Amino acid sequence: MARDVIVVGAGPVGLMTAGELRLRGVDVVVYERLSAPTRQSRGASFTRRTAECFDQRGLLGRLGATEPADSHFGGLPIDLGMLDEDHYGHRGVSQFRTERMLEEWVGELGVPVLRGREVTALRQDDDEVVVDVDGPDGPAEDRAAYLVGCDGGRSTVRRLAGIGFPGTDGRRGFLTADVTGIDTRRRRIGEDLPGGSMVMAMDLENGVTRVVVHEAGTRPPADREAIAFADLADAWQRLTGESIHHGRCRWISCFTDASRAAAEYRRGRVFLAGDAAHVQPPAMAQGLSVGVQDAVNLGWKLAATVRGGAPEGLLDTYHAERHPVGEQLARNARAAIELRLTGEDMDPVREVVGELLAHKDAAEYAAGMLSNLGIRYDLAKGDHPLLGRRMPPGTALTLADGAGVCVAELLRTGRGLLLTTHDADARVARAADGLADRVEVVTGAWATAPGAPLDAVLVRPDGYVAWTSPGTADDLAEALERWFGGGHRLSSSPRPTGQEPRPDCQDLS
C-alpha cells in the first residue's frame, strides 16, 4: 500500500516538513542521500519569523541559548531599536545544531529518516508518485500520494519533475569555513573592504568561528572539491593583514551569488521547498529561514488534503503564497550583493540607502523583509491590519478559570484557532461546530492585546490571520470553508507517538 507522503532530503526544511505532516497524523518517510548527518553548517542564524515558527511547535527552547542577530541590508545597518516590534533574529546557531534538534523531534513523532537512500527517478499519475531509490540493499521502489523535494539547490526532484529554475548565474565566488583556535576580530554582519572585497567572522558555539571571504574579482571556483583552507587563509591575510593559518578547519566550502526561484513550487503531486525552490547568496542569512517557513506553509495544507475534507484548491495556495516570497528573496539578495560588493562606483547609492534606513518607516519596511515579519498573504477582504499577517505569537488570552494562554502555545497541535472574546457575537464560536479536529475554539479576554480592536480572529495552523471581527468583509463561514473545508469532517488522527503536551510560551528574545 502506498504511504501518504515521501520527503526527499533530511536537512532542516525536509525535517520540518516531515514533522508538520506527522503532527497531523500523516504517514510520512524521509529519504536522505547522505549516509550520516554532515558536520557542515551552511546556515548559522535564522530570522525572527522562523524563531516564531519553531516556537509555534514548541521547538525553540530545544535549541538552547542563542544571541540576537543584528539586521543590515547590503552591509548597511538597520537600527532595530527604533521599531515598535522586535525584529531581532537569532545568530550563532549552526545548521548542524538545528538539524539535530529537528531530527530528535521527528523521531519522537515516529517519522522514519532513511539515510543512504538516493532518489534516482520519479513518475506520477493522477493517483500517486512512484520513486526509484538506490540504497544500502540495492535499488528499490516506493510510492506515495505526494512527494516533497527538500533536496537542496541542485535538487534531483526538481530536475526529475521537469520544473524550470530561472534566475542568474553566479559571477562571484566566496569561501567559507568553520574554524577553531583563532582570535580574530569579530565582524558579525561582515566588513566591506575597498574595491568590492569583504570578510566576515562570527562566533558559533564551542569556540567555533564562522569565516567568510570574498576577494574582489574572485570567480566561482571551477572545482569545488579542490578548495583548501590555505586558500581561504591566504585571502584573509591579503585583505586584513591577519593570519589565521594556524586555525583548525572543521569544514570548508564555497558559494556564489547565483540567485534563482523555481518556476513552479508544485507540479501535480510533487512539491518543492527550501533551496530546491529558491537559491540565493547568503547576503542576508535567509535561505534556511525561508525554507522552514515553506515547510510550515505547506505542511498543514498537505496534511489536510491527505486526511480528506480539504477545500478545493488548498494545495494551489502553497505556490500562490510562497513563490512571491522566493522571488522577492532572490531579488533582495541580488540587490544586497550588488550594493555591498560593486566597489566605489556604488558609494552614492550606499549613501542614499543609508539615509533612507535612518528613517523609521523605511527601516521598518526593510526590517520586515529581512525578519520575514513583513509577509502578508492575500487571505481575506477587509481593513484590519492583521489580515493576512502572522498573529503576534505573544498575544495572550485570559480564560474563564483565570489561566493565561498565548497564541504560540495554542498552535502547538498544528490545528487552526478561532479565538473569541466575550464581546464577540455568540454565533462566532458555533460557526466552527463540526471542525474540532481542525480548528480549536478558545474564548477569553485579551491579556495581551493584539493592537487594533479585535473581538474574534481565525488563525491558520501556520499562524497567519484569515479572518477578523471587526475588520473583515468576508463571512466567517466562508473563511472556514476556504481554509478548513467547512463541515466535512476529517478522518480521526490520534496524537503521534512521542508528541508531548504543549509547553509554556517561549521567550523569543
Q: Each residue of 301-327: pLDDT tens digit?
A: 999 999 998 999 999 999 999 999 999
Q: What is the structure's pLDDT at 250?
A: 92
Q: What is the structure's pLDDT at 509?
A: 47
Q: What is the structure's pLDDT at 492?
A: 38
Q: What is the structure's pLDDT at 15?
A: 98
Task: Looking at mean pLDDT, say which of 72-76, 271-275, 504-508 comes out highest.
Answer: 271-275
Q: What is the structure's pLDDT at 301?
A: 98
- Specify the CATH number for 378-509; select among 3.40.30.120, 3.40.50.12500, 3.60.15.10, 3.40.50.1100: 3.40.30.120
With 80 as the cut, is the pLDDT of residue 75 above it? Answer: yes
Q: What is the structure's pLDDT at 490?
A: 38
Residues of the chain with pLDDT > 90, as a percent, come to 81
User: Domain map of the chain by residue range?
Assistant: 3-168+260-341, 173-256, 378-509
H-helix or E-strand spanning residue 480: helix 476-484
Place of cell 536522505: 32
d(CA 472, CA 378): 12
Distances (CA, A) of 479 to 299, 379, 387, 485: 19, 9, 12, 9
| Domain at 173-256: CATH code | 3.30.70.2450
If phi over 0 gives left and psi between -120 and 50 gives alpha, with beta otherwise, what is residue 359? beta
Q: What is the structure's pLDDT at 487?
A: 53
Question: What integer best gives the mean pLDDT of the chain?
Answer: 91
Q: Each residue of 112-168: pLDDT tens digit?
A: 999 999 999 999 999 999 999 999 999 999 999 999 999 999 999 999 999 999 999
Report how far apart the first and last C-alpha atoms of the chain are (Å, whole number): 46
- Which residues are CB-contacts of 46 (< 8 A; sequence separation ≥ 6)? 89, 90, 93, 98, 285, 288, 289, 292
H helical segments located in 257-404: 287-307, 316-341, 347-357, 360-371
Q: Which sign does the torsion angle of CA 492, 297, 21, 416 carry? A: negative
Q: Kindly provide the b/e burial profile for residues 337-363, where b requires at least 16 CB atoms within 10 angstroms of the residue's own CB.
A: bebbbbeeebeeebeebeeebeeeeeb
- What's the pLDDT band for 349 if we cut at 50, 70, 90? very high
With 90 as the cut, is the pLDDT of residue 94 above it? Answer: no
Q: Each residue of 477-499: pLDDT tens digit?
A: 999 999 999 654 334 344 444 44
Asked whether 310 and 491 are in contact (CB, 8 A), the reply is no
Place of cell 502553497: 318
d(CA 378, CA 372): 16
pTM: 0.93
Instruction: At 127, list the grid cell.
Output: 493517483
Asked whether 372 and 47 are in contact (CB, 8 A), the reply is yes
d(CA 65, CA 509): 10
Q: What angle do CA 237, 239, 243 make, to 5 degrees?
A: 15
Q: Identity (one letter) of the amino acid at 329?
A: L
| Domain at 3-168+260-341: CATH code | 3.50.50.60
